[in-house]
Amino acid sequence: MSVKKEKKGILNRRDFLKALTAIGGAAVVSSGCSPEPLDKLVSYAIPPDDVIPGIPNYYSTALPYSPVGASVVVKVREGRAIFISGNPLDPVSNSGVSSETQASLQGLYDPDRIKQPLFRNNRGDLSPVSWGSALDIFGKKLNEKSQNTYMITDNTTGTLDKLLNRFSDKIGAKRIKYETFSFEHIANANEASFGKRLIPTYKIDEADYLLSFGVDFLETWLSPNEYSAKFAKMHSLKNGSKGKFVQIEPKLTLTGAKADEWVPIKPSTNLYLALGIINYIKINRLNKNTIPRTFTNLSDFTLEKTSTLTGISTESIEKIANDFVNSSSAIALAGGISSTGEDQLKTVIAVNILNHITDNLDKYDFDNHYLLSEASSYSEMLKFREEALAGNVDLLITHNANPAYSLPDSLEIGKALEKISYKVSFSSSLDETSELSDLILPDQHPLEQWGDYEGKKGLRYLIQPVMKALYGNLSVGSSILSIYNKIEPQDNIIKETSYLEYLKNSWMSIYSPSSFRTFWNKSLKDGGVFNQASSKTDLSFNSRKKFNVQINKDSGNSLNLFITPSYRFYDGRGANKTWLQELPDLLTTTVWDSWVEINSKLAEKLKIVEGDFVDVETSYGKVTTQAYLSKAMRPDTISISLGQGHTSYGRYAKDRGVNPINLLNGEMVGDSGNLDWTSQNVSINKTGNWEKLVKVQNSYSQDNRDIAQTIALAEIVGDHHEEHDGEHHEERDMYREYDYFIHKWGMNIDLDKCTGCGACVTACYSENNIPVVGKEQVGNGRHMSWLTLERFQTEEEDYLASVRVDTRIIPQLCQHCENAPCEPVCPVFATYHNPEGLNVMVYSRCVGTRYCSNNCSYKVRRFNWFKYEMPEPLNMQLNPDVTVRSRGIMEKCSFCLQRITAAKDIAKDEDRKLRDGEVVTACQSVCPSEAIVFGDLNEENSKISKLVKDKRSYTLLEELNTRPSVSYLKKIEWDRT
């Protein structure tokens, strides 16, 4: 330092000041870099233009997750994404957004996310390394010549796909676009039927009769959000009628629960039924188009034979066939994952024929097809596995693919991966596959990066970062761009330096707009470009292939395994999110674990009770999990849901439940391409251990209490005027009525539209900072969900003999009663009636007597038994508008009071009255079937005021005179049993 050089050791003024500055600067620097958290909030010196504290920003973006991605609007508060709702401009999602998509926020704030590149050191551990050196290592690896390289990604589309293709070409990698559910058989069947190897959009909304051969289109099939919306349209009441939905499956699924007729079928016999129906149509000359001779032994499938093969009565088959032919517009669907057995290809072809001969092919929309058909064939995956097992693969690059989890153990994928000399992963979490990698270049979360996604032809979603990246990671696109030009030979250079630039140029070349700036900004604002083709191509069945259907000699006593893809975890990727783990599976209401569903009669025979640990064994593997007994399934079927049983993948997913994939043989079925998801000859054995199965709902019977009510279609349409006159008397009350001077909020839920998908439940967690309590506490009856989906079933002895399993789903939330029983009993006024009809909770005043909950007739209040903490950075998702409750106090649905206030503030700023529909509650904002309506009951012309006067409208437990503000529309039944 200059100070030292000074003669005599005396400081002059200049040096003194210099030294002072140096010391001061050092102090500033050291305090600025201090890892200690700041305990003071400091306001911006120069505030960013687009951030007003307290006012949220909304960004349109997309989540590029298969099967079709989701166009969403993300609510961002002070730089943190806190809520995801659907993009209303997106023609597919129709503003609905599934639980899984919403929970991607928890993927963003996942405490187990990889924060920087990891590199396997000499000791064999993964240790952190800087991005610079990680990319160097990667580059060096790529420049090693003559390697057998594989690149396995999910079904990437759009610009990233283009870049990945270019990259893999350059490094000479074989690319596999691996999807756990590729629906390859549908594409292949369509190729065989129509010469188009594509997966069309099925316009079920235009049908009035929907026949589904085990397709779970409300859960995971192709595009569940889209089909939920379409189904709501098809199935809702219009002009005095509504569509009819028939589901054929061996085990009741969430989709089947919505069916007007539910037909239990022997597993893996969908093809026989389809052929039986075609043959019936043929014999009775009901066909409108000529029946192709694709199936040579069609005439074998007489009614009687089909009936014995499928286990469905001849009358039922006849009825289905007649209804199908006689309805003005019908469609049959096939190709669900659970039923992709040996005959998967032929089944889809047969159903195509069925649609063809009844002249219903107009509902196949090949112009707006799903790009899922671009996923690689399963056979390529098997080829890769063989090469790897033989030790012939030198380098593997994976991105968004987890074959170590999603392929059966019998394929020895783990062993195969170990034999690969070097593995690079772009995964942002340590899952079963990336755990084995030698180098991990963690991708950014989609909410932090630029990109695009095309799930469906013509719909190109634009992905934009909605917040600053949590960690200094690079997106896959950026990683590849930064390394691409360094790969030998250095030709075919990419000139763009950033992925954003690359993306923009890509969009420029696709759309070549006159003004790119305007186009780009509009696309960003809209969330992408939505060009849906409307052209109608004439489609006709033109296959020349011939099939002879072999009838499997069923061994009779064999037990079949029916694996259901989970609408919560999809193929297992959702398992590390606590919202999804705590979202009860609708039909069983279990959480946080796996279970095996067993027919109650079979269980009785085997002396199995609910909660028993049961060994489920095939010749390929064995899993042990708890039994759940169900009446709504065939006795020759057992069912396990997919998604759990991770051996890695973060603290929430690891060692939880079982993975039923390991029971499969993993071989490909004939020429149809897919993995065989069915398994015959399963054995189940009691282990002797028992534990209480953790469920949310204990009683599935309504006990004649008419909680979830139904109404017969004839009753609405016909002149069934109930005798209201005379009975109607003036209601008198000792107490004065409340005055609602301005607003009186009310909610209406259409039980006919509600499918029980649980999107509303997750939205409520996300909006209202509801704590996740974990398996043990749910087992103690302490889940905190403000909104629960209750499901009830009739207590019939034999579900299999009835036309349908009367499953009723009802979202249960605070009813905001006018005569609320909870209000007068609180000794400290912690809950009271506000002037807008809301039943409000004052958290800070609550002392926790819990009297309010005891007196609540609907039991919708939740108590904070503990202080529920969430590990950082999950807490970043918390909504700053809603108090995080401390322990010892009561909480419940607030009708999203904060959203009401926000809407009122805007109206006040604009000096106008609130518009009808301006206040949208969280649950309402995500509902794919638009079953929830919220509004002002004081407003005469509001939607809600009209709905409460509907014939179908009713309130829960009316006889208690609590006068709820929540009303329900009765579920419509075709025929009342």
Partner 1 sequence: MSQIAEADKYSNINKTVMNMLTRPSWGWWSIFIFDLIFLAFGIYCFIYQVYTGLGVAGYSHPVLWGVYITDFVFWVGIAHSGTLISAVLFLFRAKFRMSIYRIAEAMTVFAVATAGLFPIIHLGRPWNFYWLLPYPNQRGLWVNFDSPLLWDVFAVSTYATISTVFFFIGMIPDIAAIRDTVVGKTKKALYSVLSLGWKGSNWEWSTYTRAYFYFACFATPLVISVHSVVSWDFAMANTPGWHTTIFPPYFVAGAIFSGLAMVITLCIPLRLIFKLEDYITMENFEGMSKMIILTSCIVFYAYLTEFFIAWYSDNKYEYDQFLYRANGDYAFFYWTMMFCNGIVPHALWFKKIRNNLVILFIISLLINVGMWFERFNIIVISLSKEFEPGSWGVYRPSWVELGITVGSFAWFFMFFLIFVRTLPALSIAEIKEILPVPRKNGGSDHE
Residue 700 C-beta: closest distance to partner 1, Å: 8
744: its two tokens: 């009186």
Question: Backbone dihedral region of 86: left (phi > 0), alpha (psi from -120 to 50 degrees) or beta?
Answer: beta
Question: Looking at beta carbons only, is 83 or 858 nearer to partner 1?
Answer: 858
Instruction: Give, as one character, the DSSP assignment of residue 664.
Output: S
What beta strand segments (E) does 335-419 contain?
A: 364-370, 395-399
Question: Looking at beta carbons only, is 789 or 937 nearer to partner 1?
Answer: 789
Residue 99 C-beta: closest distance to partner 1, Å: 20
Question: Looking at beta carbons only, is 28 or 828 nearer to partner 1?
Answer: 828
Instruction: Give, as one character, the DSSP assignment of residue 429.
Output: B
Residue 891 C-beta: closest distance to partner 1, Å: 11
833: its two tokens: 């009636």
Measuring CA to CA, how many Å separate 576 from each of 490, 646, 652, 714?
41, 9, 5, 47
Extract long-range pairs of 938-941: CB within 8 Å, 24+ residues apart: 938/740, 938/742, 938/743, 938/744, 941/916
Angle between helices 303-310 and 314-326 (to 10 degrees): 110
Residue 252 C-beta: closest distance to partner 1, Å: 18
Contact in structure between 204 and 230 (CB atoms under 8 Å): yes
Query: In whole angstroms, what is the distance from residue 210 CA to residue 203 CA?
Result: 10
Question: Looking at beta carbons only, is 764 or 810 nearer to partner 1?
Answer: 810
Question: Looking at beta carbons only, is 322 or 819 nearer to partner 1?
Answer: 819
Residue 970 C-beta: closest distance to partner 1, Å: 17
Residue 584 C-beta: closest distance to partner 1, Å: 11
Give me the DSSP letters along 452-486.
Answer: EEEEETTEEEEE---S--SSS---HHHHHHHHHTT
Q: Pairing state of beta strands 678-690 and 612-617?
A: antiparallel
Residue 822 C-beta: closest distance to partner 1, Å: 10
Measuring CA to CA, how many Å separate 691 from each of 168, 609, 626, 746, 779?
50, 10, 8, 42, 11
Residue 737 C-beta: closest distance to partner 1, Å: 17
Residue 257 C-beta: closest distance to partner 1, Å: 15
**SS3 category, 971:** strand
Given the rule CB under 8 A, which residues bind partner 1? 697-699, 701-705, 707, 777, 780-783, 788, 790-792, 810, 812, 821, 824-829, 845-851, 853-855, 857-859, 862-867, 887-890, 956-957, 960
Residue 770 C-beta: closest distance to partner 1, Å: 14
Residue 39 C-beta: closest distance to partner 1, Å: 25
Other CB atoms within 10 Å distance of the CB of residue 914? 19
Q: b/e for 826-845, b at 16 or more Cβ within 10 A?
A: beeebbbbeebbbbbbeeee
Query: In whole angstroms, what is the distance from residue 818 CA to residue 462 CA?
Result: 46
φ/ψ of 668, rounded to 5, equals -85, 150
Question: Looking at beta carbons only, is 149 or 785 nearer to partner 1?
Answer: 785
Residue 422 C-beta: closest distance to partner 1, Å: 49
Question: Looking at beta carbons only, is 280 or 628 nearer to partner 1?
Answer: 628
Residue 714 C-beta: closest distance to partner 1, Å: 27
Query: In whole angstroms, what is the distance from residue 3 CA to residue 14 CA?
Result: 10
Residue 812 C-beta: closest distance to partner 1, Å: 6
Question: Looking at beta carbons only, is 821 or 873 nearer to partner 1?
Answer: 821
759: its two tokens: 């999107």
Task: Name the residue among 886, 839, 830 with its Cα closest to residue 860.
Answer: 839
Question: Looking at beta carbons only, is 30 or 704 nearer to partner 1?
Answer: 704
Task: Name the residue among 152, 151, 155 with its Cα closest to residue 64.
Answer: 155
Q: Residues with Cβ < 8 Å from 525, sequence gap 6 or more?
A: 60
Query: In whole angstroms, what is the distance from residue 516 CA to residue 508 CA?
Result: 7
Residue 863 C-beta: closest distance to partner 1, Å: 6
Q: Residues with Cβ < 8 Å from 575, sequence gap 6 or more?
A: 569, 581, 643, 644, 646, 649, 652, 653, 656
784: its two tokens: 């905190």
**Residues constituting the chain:** 977
Residue 817 C-beta: closest distance to partner 1, Å: 11
Task: Name the residue among 148, 137, 647, 703 with its Cα closest to residue 391.
Answer: 148
437: its two tokens: 């990698």
303: its two tokens: 């009614």
Amino acid making up residue 819: N
Dihedral over Cα of 434, 438, 442, 443: its sign: negative
Question: Looking at beta carbons only, is 171 or 852 nearer to partner 1?
Answer: 852
Task: Name the residue among 184, 262, 218, 809 with its Cα closest to residue 567.
Answer: 218
Residue 655 C-beta: closest distance to partner 1, Å: 24
Q: b/e for 217-245, b at 16 or more Cβ within 10 A?
A: bbbbbbbbbbbbbbbbbbbbbeeeebbbb
Question: Looking at beta carbons only, is 604 or 795 nearer to partner 1?
Answer: 795
110: its two tokens: 């996942």
Question: Looking at beta carbons only, is 735 or 741 nearer to partner 1?
Answer: 735
Residue 703 C-beta: closest distance to partner 1, Å: 5
